[in-house]
Structure 1
Amino acid sequence: MAQQPQIRIPATYMRGGTSKGVFFRLEDLPERCQVPGEARDRLFMRVIGSPDPYSAHIDGMGGATSSTSKCVILSASSRAGHDVDYLYGQVSIDQAFVDWSGNCGNLSTAAGAFAIHAGLIDPARIPDNGICVVRIWQANIGKTIIAHVPVSQGQVQETGDFELDGVTFPAAEIVLEFLDPSDDGEEGGSMFPTGNLVDELEVPGVGTLKATLISAGIPTVFVNAEDIGYRGTELRDDINADPQQLDRLEKIRIAGALRMGLINSAQEAATRQHTPKVAFVAPPMPYRSASGKAVEVADVDLLVRAVSMGKLHHAMMGTAAVAIGTAAAIPGTLVNLAAGGGARSAVRFGHPSGTLRVGAEALQDGGQWSVTKASMSRSARILMEGWVRLPGDAF
């Protein structure tokens, strides 16, 4: 039987923050993949190497973790006041679907840099030396992100001395601003979908837990570490090697998704793994990060661990960091209380790989909370560029 030859598609493999993904220009994709649908989903799955029952991604570009099973599409924006449209797909590792329900905050950093690398920014807006402000329309969630990308001799400056916990080597600092990151769209309808800063969340098979359910950056379910038997100092192996713990955390995520109105039935959660996130918080206490670095009480305001795609994340998702910063800025949320309570415009939290600072500007008007901006520093760089190859009948 005749076999289809492989085709090649221009692509760039990039690290952004503590994630990696395969980046495409929309115009470089095969025509039938330039629009949403089955062909695009199948293309991305084959590029990453999913679905993979071995959970290894040997035959693809993925790394068999939530942080490395990602694809991104960028195009010149037709939206006023924006440079590029950025669309993100979270590829399931062992199931045949791509989750388009949310953003990746880490790869938002790389999106700004890639926009310049890929020739999607007006050359007149790129300084010879200095900072290029890239105005990004995040198409998954309909929000604006501003990336402040350093430029040297007209090119993205990728090397530098900025250190990011969870990333082995230093690089150039990129500052991200997430404008109006709270959810005002169809799903949830507000930053606090239930109208409460803290809910009593009934979780079948687990019990009733205090929870802060927030849509800012990404829909997130926050619970107290102590209430589910944790200290907040856990590392990946403490949880990811135990199916029972993972199952319990997934039950919390599903209960939160139902309460937030993100799904209509528990069964829907199986094909919506990317959102919401579930995270547990605790007051500061000393621990050693995954690299062996000592994190002391004085280094952080609180501790946070978050689950992504069914596993404890090795550091912190950028979008979840926005949710953490936003919730910390609002007195009375579980995140704010774990940080000591009171008003604040920035928070430094401990995660499995170290610490991260995120700022947020929250306002209350007529009893309703909103956040105008959240910001953080990340870094990004190109790891490889050229073409990805895959069988011509794969999509």
Structure 2
Amino acid sequence: MTNAIKAHAPQLRIPATYLRGGTSKGVFFRLQDLPAAAQVPGAARDALLQRVIGSPDPYGKQIDGMGGATSSTSKTVIVSRSSRADHDVDYLFGQVAIDKAFVDWSGNCGNLSAAVGPFAIANGLVDPARVPRDGIAIVRIWQANIGKTIIARVPITDGAVQETGDFELDGVTFPAAEVQLEFVDPAAEEDGAGGAMFPTGHVVDDLEVPGVGTLKATMINAGIPTIFVEAAAIGYTGTELQDAINSDAKALAMFETIRAHGALRMGLIATLEEIATRQHTPKVAFVAGPADYLASSGKRVAAGDVDLLVRAMSMGKLHHAMMGTAAVAIGTAAAIPGTLVNVAAGGGERHAVRFGHPSGTLRVGAEAAQVDGAWTVTKAVMSRSARVLMEGWVRVPAG
């Protein structure tokens, strides 16, 4: 008697590139290379991206996938030629939950935005006529999650994207080539928030948070919806590193409660229960005035090196550096007198701010103005770097 041979589905082989952008890394795809069912939004796309990253993983390690078991390394990007006038490519970002079957499409990743231009050029998605033999290629990116334009200035050497260089970015170990990003009109047009930079109509609100108290809060839609609170009001100094918060279950629960009640006030959710399906946005950050501290690398950051200190939560954990989109929110809020960010930086008018984060410092500029009594911001600018880590194909079990 012969044993029956069980049939097994083969693995799909999908062209992909693994890139670092800023202080994040993720798996990048051309839309045209995805299986047909995943070329449109929906369950098939979400299931594919989760399997690529290795989620949902009850062990929280993403061992059977490309993810790195942190919010900064559980990311996916889909890029395609743009059909929009004056844009080169469309860029869609998916934040993959680690232990849940969920992909959050509600916001952008500012760090990975730095890798979109280089990826698009290297993969033939940008008109070759727009890429100089040597110099800077200007890539016009449509950020499809939030409906905004990003301008990337990508260095080109001998007709190819230049990745090596001497630009140093705190939170990234090795230097690389600088990619300058300009976030055009970055006030996020979030659902329910009416596209207002300050959805409550105020630069500072009293936010009632059960079990925490009434906190002063600046709730802003710029780059990504962000809730800023004062470090001292929640028992912190602004010099904290990851372990001080991420090892404290009570603290993590407090930040999630603040996030839920802030999201409700911002009109991003209709009920508190909805926050569970919106993990990527809004962000929560706490601010303080300048102080000396040791960064996670052991590097000393002096009070005189920064205008203020900021620590930000991402996907339920304190971020190891700073999300690029949150940096846009910081720069924008710093430029508007009276916000908690502006006050922590010393108040007054400013067009740029350097802030301290767990890995070091970062400078971001913003141009803000008051028009007919409402604040607007025309652009926010910062520099990041990007590098291809691996390219070829990812494999996932078919079906």
The answer to whether structure 1 residue 164 and structure 2 residue 157 are counterparts is no
Q: Does 1:325 align with 2:345?
A: no
Aligned pair partner of 2:305 in 299, 303, 311: 299
- 1:54-96 deviation digits (Å, cap 9, x = unpaired): 1101000000100000000000000000000000000000000
- Per-residue Cα deviation, 1:354-387 (whole angstroms, up to 9, x for no partner): 0000000001011100100000000000000000
Q: Who is 1:377 aligned against?
A: 383
The residue type paired with residue 347 of structure 1 is: V
- What is the CA-CA distance between 1:266 and the residue it aligns to? 1.5
Offset at residue 196 of structure 1 (A)? 0.4
Q: Does 1:134 align with 2:139?
A: yes
Find the aligned partners of 2:7 and 2:317 in 1 and give their Cα distance.
41
Matched, 1:151 2:143: no
CA offsets 1:198-253 (integer angstroms, 9 cap, x no match): 00001111111000000000000000000000000000001001111000011001
- Over 3 Å counting, the alpha-carbon distance change for 1:300 and 1:243 in structure 2 is same
| Equivalent residue letter for 2:297 | S
1:180 aligns with 2:185: yes
SS of equivalent to 2:99: coil
The whole-number CA distance in structure 1 between the counterparts of 2:202 and 2:250 is 30
CA distance in 2, matches of 1:163, 1:272: 33
In structure 2, the residue matched to 1:214 is 220
CA drift of 1:183 comes to 2.5
TM-score normalised by length of structure 2: 0.98
SS in 1 for 2:73: coil
SS of the aligned residue for 1:379 comes to strand
Q: CA deviation at 1:2?
A: 2.2
Counterpart selection for 1:77 from 75, 82, 96: 82
- Equivalent residue for 1:272, pick from 272, 278, 287: 278
Q: Percent identity?
A: 74
Is residue 212–residue 254 contact of structure 2 (8 Å, CA) maintained in 1? yes
Contact kept in structure 1, 2:50 and 2:96, CA below 8 Å = yes
**Per-residue Cα deviation, 1:136-177 (whole angstroms, up to 9, x for no partner):** 000000000000000000000000000000000000000000
2:192 and 2:269 in contact (8 A); partners too: no
Tell me how far apart the structure 1 counterparts of residues 214 and 116 of structure 2 sit (CA, whole Å). 40
The secondary structure found in structure 2 opposite 1:166 is coil
* Contact persistence 2:151–2:182 (CA under 8 A): yes
1:43 is paired with a residue of what secondary structure? helix
Q: Verify: 1:341 aligned to 2:347, yes or no.
A: yes
**Aligned with 1:363 (options 347, 351, 369):** 369
Residue 10 of structure 1: how far off its partner (Å): 0.2
Q: Return structure 1 stretches of 4+ with deviation > 6 angstroms.
A: none
Aligned to 2:237: 231
Q: 1:98 aligned to 2:103?
A: yes
Residue-by-residue CA offset, 1:16-53 (whole Å, 9 max, x unaligned): 00000000000000001000000000000000000001
Give, in whole Å, the separation in 2 of the partners of 1:208 and 1:37.
39
- d(CA) in 1 for partners of 2:132 and 2:56? 43
Residue number in structure 1 paired with 2:257: 251
Q: Which runs of 5 or more structure 1 residues have no equivalent in the other structure?
A: none
Distance across 1 between alignment mates of 2:79 and 2:191? 24
SS of alignment partner, residue 259 of structure 2? helix
CA RMSD between the two structures: 0.6
Q: Does structure 1 retain, via aligned residues, the 8 Å contact 2:22–2:385?
A: yes
Instruction: Say whether residues 1:9 and 2:9 are aligned partners.
Output: no
- Give 3-state SS (helix, strand or coil) of 1:357's partner: strand
**1:107 counterpart residue number:** 112
Report the Cα distance in structure 2 between the residues aligned to 1:145 and 1:129, rounded to whole angstroms.
22
CA contact (8 A) 2:190 2:268 kept: no
Measured in 1, the distance between the counterparts of 2:262 and 2:233 equals 15
- Cα shift at 1:185: 5.2
User: Partners of 1:145 and 1:39 in 2: how far apart?
Assistant: 28
Q: In the TM superposition, what is the alpha-carbon distance from 1:8 to its structure 2 partner?
A: 0.5
How far apart are the structure 1 equivalents of 2:374 and 2:356? 29
Gaps in structure 2 of 5+ consecutive residues = 1-5
Match of 1:28 among 29, 33, 37: 33
